[in-house]
A and B are shown apart, each in its own frame.
Chain A
Amino acid sequence: MKKVYSRPIGLHRNINGYCPGCLHSAAGKIIMSALEELNLLEKTAMVDGVGCCANNNNYMDLDAIGTPHGRACATASAIKRCSPETIVITYQGDGDLASIGLAETMMAANRGDNITVFFINNANYGMTGGQMAPTTLLDMKTTTTPFGRNPEEHGYPMDMCKVLSTLKGPSYIARVTCTDVPNVRKAKEAVKEALQHQVDGKGFSMVEFVSNCPTNWGLTPLESLKFIKEHMLAEYPLGVYRNL
């Protein structure tokens, strides 16, 4: 018998810390599989944000560094400038990238620093129990918006692909999801494209994963996929926002 589908070699043979059905796991798996296919596993350094994302460094076999909350893009830019031959990726949640780290994200993108950002948008602060994030949908209930997000009080959901696409620095920006097989395939293509931009020295690249948080959304894993398709994708359309 020939093995036709294998676990990515860069994933340790252990169970990771994510909840059942959490698409953080899917994003990590896709990133490791893309790095393997591009033969970049040995030269990649990962900068983890703070949040559930930081669960990944016990199962992704990469050199990794944890940063203070929100500072991943600044740290990644510094590593890349000191060691241009290293492939530098960040792995950040929406609270990390779009809230506490908004300045660092915008500045790295605006400078066109040659790093690749993986942004996991699950519309809340997952790790701390499901508070509102800038990306929380209108009317969505979180622990800090118990009656639903109301724009007059809490502002509007923030579309980071569109926001960053207004800058001149980024060379590749795409939004993907992992709810079904065609989308998983497209997600891997986008991750490989973003990494290739870095290999080619083209500047800042980002892939946003429209993700889930079944635990804090109060849904089963399968219900959370339906919620992504019916609600998240309406606010966060998939596609390539920048490709220079």
Chain B
Amino acid sequence: MPKIEIESEFCKGCLFCVEACPKDVIGTTSAVNDKGYQYAVPVHQENCIGCSICAIICPDAAIEVYKED
């Protein structure tokens, strides 16, 4: 199954990825990073189709995407 990894320390909580993901994979929790930003997390990783839309739109290059070989 495809999956994403979000580097929480690079995330600023802009929500661009949350809004853009066609499968509602990404959301936020109450957790904040060292800078105080409420970072994005994959809350429904199992629905990810590996389309990379979230990673392309993330201004801060916090998201990387993996697929089966």
Contacts and interface: CB of A to CB of B under 8 A. Distances in A.
- Say whether A associates with B: yes
Interface of A: 1-8, 11, 15-16, 18-23, 25-26, 29, 178, 180-181, 184-185, 220-222, 225
Contacts of A3: 64-66
Nearest to B9: A15
B61 A8 contact: yes
A94 B59 CA distance: 20
What is the predominant secondary structure among interface residues of chain B facing chain A? Answer: loop
A225 B59 CA distance: 12
Interface of B: 3, 7, 9-10, 12-16, 19-20, 35, 37, 50, 52-53, 55-57, 59-69
9 contacts: A2-B68, A4-B66, A6-B64, A7-B64, A15-B35, A19-B12, A20-B14, A21-B14, A184-B56
B53 A181 contact: yes
Contacts of B35: 15
Contacts of A22: 59
A42 B3 CA distance: 32
**Which 7 A-B pairs rank lowest in CB-CB distance, beginning with the nearest?**
A21-B14, A20-B12, A25-B59, A5-B65, A221-B14, A26-B59, A1-B66
Given A3-B64, A25-B59, 9 more contacts: A2-B67, A5-B55, A19-B12, A20-B37, A21-B12, A29-B59, A178-B59, A221-B14, A222-B16
Given A181-B20, A221-B16, A222-B16, A16 B68 contact: no
Contacts of B7: 7
A29 B61 contact: yes
Contacts of A6: 64
B61 A4 contact: no
A221 B66 CA distance: 27
Contact of A222 (B15, B52, B59): B15
Contact of A225 (B9, B16, B62, B69): B16
B10 A15 contact: yes
B38 to A, nearest CB: 10
Nearest to A8: B61
- Most A Cβ at <10 Å: residue of B7, B9, B12: B12
A15 B59 contact: no
Contacts of A2: 66-69
A23 B59 contact: yes
Contact of B60 (A15, A181, A222): A15
Nearest to A22: B59
Contacts of B20: 180-181
A187 to B, nearest CB: 11
Contacts of B64: 3, 5-7
A185 B56 CA distance: 8
